[in-house]
Chain A
Amino acid sequence: MKLRIRHTKLGKIRFTSHRDTARHWERAVRKADVALAYSAGFTPRPRMSFGLALPTGAESLAEYLDVELAAGLAPDLDDLAVRFSAAMPVGYEVTHVVERDASSSPSLQEDVVACTWVFTLDGVECAEVSSAIGTTLSATTLMVERERKGQRSTDDVRPAILDLSVAPSTDDPRPHLCAMLATNGRGLRPLELVAAMFPALDPVDTAARVLRTQQWIERDGVQREIIPASPVAARAPVVCA
């Protein structure tokens, strides 16, 4: 049985890396006593594959992984979600475990086309955020100088910005920026967006909180969440409306 799992990563645990999260899952599966299928080969590994990396320091409401259970297992999936949540460190909650039809869906890494992020911004007024959104969306190109793997390059990141808006906030007076960013190609990292929109500010101080709220795939020309969190969130990026 192949499963797709959706979970959160919130609070102090956000300072662990994507690789750390993979290790947390390997131990949690054993703690929950769920037998996984193993890869063949000289050093067999449990069959688990993880979605797009979440940057260290960012939180998320929408992390995903795929696992394959050992042959013959068909556990109750709601119960499995509870067991996984209990076995994972504090800060993770497993919200969904669904059966995955591997023949009709590619891997998470290949399938996701965009992610929605909500930034809690420090040291900027709401009006400045609105103005930066206007400037960014009306620009045809947005050149950013960045370095990856020791290579410096100047790229046009405007095509990766699919939507920007001011997100409504319930209890935090600071402005919230909602951004839908494409993940194909080199994409655009959340902090790179903040640096591009507010070039005069320090992006680390400015982006006090970075939260991934959704990961989007495309089916028949329509974007939808990989596993919808709720009927509301299942539609286009309503959160940003």
Chain B
Amino acid sequence: MDKRTTEARAVAELRSGMTLGIGGWGSRRKPMSLVREILRSDVKDLTVVTYGGPDVGLLCKAGKVKRLVYGFVSLDSIPLEPHFRAARQAGRLEVTELDEGMLQWGLYAAALRLPFLPTRSGLGSDVLKYAPELRLVRSPYDDGEELVAMPALELDVAFVHMNRADARGNGQYLGPDPYFDDLFCMSAKRRFVSCEKIVETAELVKSGPPQTLVLNRTMVDGVIEAPGGAHFTECPPDYGRDEAFQKEYAATAKDEDEWKKFETRYLSLASEAEYQAAVAERAR
């Protein structure tokens, strides 16, 4: 089955109020071309589940997020995501702030179609105070230990970005860490993978060993070729983070005029191709 599609068609499946999972980690290998497409759409009131980076900052700034489920939101080289901070400090976001491991556990539970998975993490902390929907569970065995029952984080749609994929939906990461992209895909009803390059299936293992094939085609509904699609987050070995661009982005949180300029130059554009052209123009 040929699953090649476009950002526009993937985002057309998103409806206001849906729960969207976004792969990557902080400012690393984020499906930014899909995020930029959401900014071009009229979708709103999303619940976003992610290890957050500039994807969260941009979606918050654009008013697309109703609720955020996260362990952190960071730009890595800039520890605090400024647009996320601004949204939080304005009281504009509903949040479920989890321990990083709890987020993985919730995705894993959803991936395995379980109602919850038990964990010790969260006990004694204010995670439970501010997420009162979380319940405890007692071990049915002789130990009788009380644990957090981390509920399944079921997603309507998942977006992840890979280095390579084939047209059938086998996805390959070539960097150091798969993050949790496989779990995001397995937890979602509709799964879209953007990638730097679509290659023939036989070509995949020429780029990296079979262990790098972190997504198999049962986990994917649509494949989008998006060279530079993770920009300005890193996507090694294809490219590193565009630190200069990230700095420019972060600075726009301090000054609404600067944000307007940034928006005009990079976001209020008709397509990802125009964005990539604007980025290339900036680099000259």
A and B physically associate? no
Q: Which residues of A contact B (CB under 8 A)?
A: none
